[in-house]
A and B are shown apart, each in its own frame.
Chain A
Amino acid sequence: MSRPQILATDLHYRYPDGMTALAGASFAIHHGERVAIVGANGAGKSTLLLHLSGVLQPSQGQVTIDDLPVTEKTFTTVRQRVGLVFQDPDDQLFMPTVLEDVTFGPLNLGVPPEESQRRARECLEQVGAWHLRDRPPHRLSAGEKRRVAIAAVLAMAPDVLVLDEPTTGLDPRGRRQLIQLLKGFPHTRIIASHDLDLVLELCPRTILLHAGKIAADRPTVELMRDDQLLQRTGLERPLSMQCCPICNNK
């Protein structure tokens, strides 16, 4: 097998208030993989994601992206390669209009304005949001915001897409559309979510975090069948793998 694209070695992280969020997490992710990161509230999912794009620095251990260690010197490169979509799109869309927000990344990377605009258009069209280009982000619906946030990250031309709870606040149709959209991307995808049905549908592999450690790293279907493990870590089977409550509850 080729060398891993993302390699995390023995990551530890303690927040300034003393709370330990990561207590020794190691894993390797290869090009083009789709990996879910699941775990109960406070298991360390978001903290882990912030390490992958160098927003947080581990107190111990290391992350490498394509053999490039994530340090302060490599931030710019790492953040271009690893596109992080935040949980709350309001945190991510900070520019006055949608188009300006999507061009923000490429312009910062030194892409000339015309090329940035062209790229922004391509990405907005890809997520079906080109018609929103002149709207201020605060006037968009939750689903529209989410799609624009994804376009803004795509515009940086990353190799890896990292999404934190991508279905939060979406209605069923919005969720369905998002899943279809995510299926179509060629990138390596890392998705942290409580939505285990989404995980089952999108990611063949799942990493289960529990109290800052990796409790399991297995094929998703296999992991989701392990009821004992799921219960111990505060999760339960995806709904689609549970027995039908109407037909079977007799």
Chain B
Amino acid sequence: MSGGDQAFLEPGLLDRLGHGDSSIHRLDPRAKLVVTFAFVLVVVSHDKYAVSALVPFFLYPAALLALSGIPVGQLVRKLVVTAPFALLVGLFNPLLDRAPLLELAGLEIAGGWVSFLSILLRFALTISALFLLVATTEIPALGRAAERLGVPRAFVVQLLMLYRYLFVLADEAARMARGHRLRGARRHPHWRVFAQMIGQLLIRALERARRIHRAMLCRGFDGRIPLLAELRFQARDWAFLLGWIAAFALLRFAEPAQLLGKLVLGGGA
């Protein structure tokens, strides 16, 4: 019966991973959040032709993968799914930037290809870091962390609501798609029908939002969402936070790849 139903979302997956138990899972979510953002900032701060300088940064996702026990396959799948965005962003670089930048084994390589490669590396690094953050931290805990770090409550509430109702919405969309498939002559809806379905989904979402708001009012909602759990920042959280930030600084400013290269080539290049 469910043949042909695509899974719009994998509702259980992130929950299951987030509920795992490892030294990484147990860290205070604030430490992970700050380190992840520091990592992303450092990675994107590199020069547009940076390639070799970026490679050592794979140390961070690799270490987290090893320590958290998250299967590598999960990460690779997420990278593959999101890769088209990065490809699209980098696509025009080789076409627009044809100035030869370096020579490799007699072959001239245009700057565009180098920056394209750089974009792909950045993409892989940042997506890996974000995926590992979400996979080792429950979303509600992330919300709490963001709130404690001073993110406005409105955003935190948005995040929590999104997390709660994304699955309900996806479910509704899946039911609608199934309804179409069972009566529709075509495999995919005509664009006009599709537009109507999207509109229908919006109306349903608005209706539900109104009912949820009512339910919240009935339980005394006054614009603030009270959160229960206490967060405790411990020695291991400090160690994780300061250790990685020091490592990122070292990789960014000391450029070990070049140091290593100079060492090997005896100060050449």
Contacts and interface: CB of A to CB of B under 8 A. Distances in A.
A107 interface: yes
A105 B216 CA distance: 9
Most interface-central of A84, A99, A138, A152 (chain B CB within 10 A): A138
Contacts of A139: 11-12, 15
30 contacts: A55-B218, A75-B217, A76-B220, A79-B218, A86-B215, A91-B208, A91-B214, A91-B215, A94-B161, A94-B165, A94-B212, A94-B215, A94-B216, A96-B138, A96-B160, A96-B163, A96-B164, A97-B140, A103-B226, A104-B219, A107-B228, A108-B222, A108-B226, A109-B220, A117-B228, A138-B11, A139-B11, A139-B12, A139-B15, A156-B219
Interface in A66-97: 75-76, 79-80, 83-84, 86, 88, 90-92, 94-97
A107 B212 CA distance: 18
Nearest to B211: A91
Interface string A145-184: 0000000110010000000000000000000000000000
Given A95-B160, A96-B143, A96-B163, A80 B228 contact: no
A19 to B, nearest CB: 15
A55 B220 contact: no
A113 interface: yes
Interface in B197-219: 208, 211-212, 214-219
A80 B215 CA distance: 12
Interface string A113-126: 10011000000000
Contacts of A108: 219-222, 226
Contacts of B161: 94
B227 A100 contact: yes
The SS class assigned to the A binding surface is helix
A113 B228 CA distance: 7
Interface residues of B, number: 30
Contact of A107 (B11, B12, B164, B226): B226
A138 B168 contact: yes
Nearest to B215: A92
A206 interface: no
A17 to B, nearest CB: 13
B125 interface: no
Interface in B120-156: 138-140, 143
B213 to A, nearest CB: 9
A53 interface: yes
B15 to A, nearest CB: 6
B211 A88 contact: yes
A136 interface: yes
Most interface-central of B215, B217, B222 (chain A CB within 10 A): B215
A39 interface: no
A137 interface: yes
Contacts of B221: 104, 108
A136 B163 CA distance: 10
Given A86-B211, A91-B208, A108-B220, A138 B167 contact: yes
A87 to B, nearest CB: 9
Contact of B220 (A79, A92, A95, A96): A79
Going nearest first, the 6 A-B pairs with the smallest beta carbon separation are: A108-B220, A96-B140, A107-B226, A105-B219, A91-B211, A92-B215
